[in-house]
Structure 1
Amino acid sequence: MKHPAEWRQVGIVGVYLGLLAAMFVEERCRNVLFLGAACYFSFLNTVVIHNHLHQGIFHSRRLNMLWRCVLSFGALYPASANIPSHNLVHHHFDDDGQPDWAAPEHVSFRWHLLNLLHFPNVAGPNTFDGVKRWGSLFGRGEFRRQYQMESVVAFGLTGALMLVDVWTTLFFIVIPQLWGARGILRINLIQHDGCDTTSEWNHSRNFVGRAFNWIMCNNGYHTIHHNRAGMHWSTLAEAHRREVVPRIDGSLDERSMVLYLLKTFLLRWNRPEKRDVAASEQAVVRAELAPRAVRRAEAEAVSA
């Protein structure tokens, strides 16, 4: 394993798979409490997919590929889809001429809660259509083989469980799988809606609570992740404080995702207006240029 912090991610996936196994084999575990926990850890499983597809957790390439298959079963989609959809397209927004398949602008209900609920129904098909096109044009044989293997594991194992017990599988395996897959799509709306994706620093919303980021493996620090995608997730908190906080519009740092969801989607009707962050960006530029101007003036004075 490359980094000791990766044990946290392995533990998250282990708990999730343990919950699924318990509900499948033990009737007493088939209740709302276990189902709710499985849905929550299913979402965390997709967070691990995100981190792993940016930076594999094992030194061994073969182990990394096998781990993708495990994660794919947990989310009921091939984890390798993240490479074109997230790493290549989403991280560039639309600055390369390719529109983001999961951009917040794909939904436009006046009632903002409907945008949150409906977003996966639009972003999901957009994403997998895009992945299919990318795979046919640019996907190398290696990518296609891995993608197919992950599909076989995800859908094949789920199908095999259905043959054993169809209703238990549908309610206590498939529902959590889909909850996580749809939840990670909604994160695109939550973290980018109302932000300026053309900005260097104000393109993303961050959730900076310590407990939240511990269980989310620092995925709340989204600005620094976009700007430095190769940085290991365990170092994002310090990098956010050092590089992002002095430059970002302060309103884009939220202490709590729960409170943000309440005030944005439940306690209001209309979609919030896109914030004008030009003034804050100009202030950052002036602050960064001021020391240079002082040094230039000092140099000119000495020269004179």
Structure 2
Amino acid sequence: MPIVAMAQYVNPGLIPYLSPLSCYLALCAGVIAHNHNHCPTFKSRRLNGWMGLWLAHFYGYPTFAWVPTHNLNHHKFVNKPGDATITWRYTNKHNAVVAFTYFFISSYWQSDPIKQYIRKARQSNPALFRQIVTQYCSWAGLHLALLGLAIAWHGVAQGFKVWGFAFLIPALFALWTIMFFNYIQHVHADPWSEHDHSRSFDGKLINFLLFNNGLHSAHHETPGAHWSTLPEVHAKLAPDINPELNQSSFFGWCFQVYVLAPLFPQFGTKQIGRAGFEPPTGEAPRLDSADVDALESGINAART
């Protein structure tokens, strides 16, 4: 991605051709950050820290945020009450408006676990807090430097354009798309079920492009597994998953749900089993968007 971005700096005329590629590569950086967060790339903690810093510059946000919002929250509650990323916060309807605006709602609610995680680290784990501050400073500092370089090279207006298409728009695209993926992989699934908690896409193209990120059921049931092993895990789980939650084509499914369903409702999704707000006991579980015990577990794990 640095080569693609710098090519746009050297020749802004390449922006229409290379900016879409930058968006895809930024999304890849986000997926790699997710995978790196679950299964670190290196044995060395220092190298893993540098990897996180590097990815943050392209993904669009410091990668430490995966811990409180994803590991300690989403994987704990999986679209049930307490999950900051629930798909049914204001409605359980599934349509393009709800799906495409999910990013803004989810971003807002994820801010609370992040703030609590930072607060807890500041109080009880100075080393972790320094890592968080370092990520923020490095991420913001490099982007300011890249913006300054673009302005110095091309002037204010053209500089903002170059930086925006090379870095800002790809980063926003990556953040939005990863949250969109989370939405479609859980909307109308049954979070109370052993295997029907997620929607998977087993098409070869999407999984080749995004490091098996389509195999979401397998990921939730074996979150520490390396991404390359997920096809084997998915093959074992697939017979036990509702067929409606095993889709072959990501792009075909999106076309069916967001283009055809408004005209032909039979192409839309329907709730499988129980929704997140319908616990098997009939009693609403305690809402706890940033579980204190989980946060402390994560902070203690960061010490070792």
Aligned partners of 1:110 and 1:202: how far apart in 2?
A: 18
CA distance in 2, matches of 1:107, 1:42: 30
Q: Per-residue CA shift, 1:35-83, capped at 9, x if unaligned?
A: 1111112111100010000011012111110010011011221101001
State the partner residue of 2:101. Answer: 118
In structure 2, how many angstroms separate the alpha carbons of the residues matched to 1:216 and 1:53? 15
Which blocks of at least 5 consecutive residues in structure 1 are unaligned? 1-15, 279-304
- Alignment of 1:158 onto 2:143: yes
**Residues 15 and 165 of structure 2 are in contact (CA less than 8 Å); yes or no, is this contact kept in structure 1?**
no
Name the counterpart of 1:169: 163
Look up the match of 1:211: 205
Query: In structure 2, what is the Cα distance between the partners aligned to 1:256 and 1:225?
Result: 18
Question: Which one has a bigger Cα radius of gyration?
Answer: 1
Deviation, 1:109, is 8.4
Q: In the aligned structure 1, how far is the partner of 2:175 from the partner of 2:245?
A: 25
Structure 1 runs of 4+ off > 4 angstroms? none
How far 1:135 sits from its partner (Å)?
A: 2.3
Q: Give the paired residue count.
A: 260
Unaligned runs of 5+ in 2: 152-158, 276-304
Matches within 5 A, 1:1-304: 16-31=1-16, 33-93=17-77, 99-108=82-91, 112-137=95-120, 140-164=125-149, 165=151, 166-167=159-160, 168-242=162-236, 244-269=237-262, 272-276=269-273
Distance in structure 1 (CA, Å) of the matches to 2:254 and 2:90: 17
TM-score (norm 1): 0.80
Provide, for residues 110-153 of structure 1, a one-character-per-residue CA deviation record: whole Å limited to 9, x for no partner: 67111121111111121122211122135732332222212112
CA RMSD of aligned residues (A): 2.2
Percent sequence identity is: 28
> 2-side partners of 1:111 and 1:201: how far apart?
21
Q: CA deviation at 1:214?
A: 1.9
Higher relative contact order (CA 8 A, sep 6+): 2
Q: Report if the CA contact (8 A) 2:59-2:175 is conserved.
A: yes
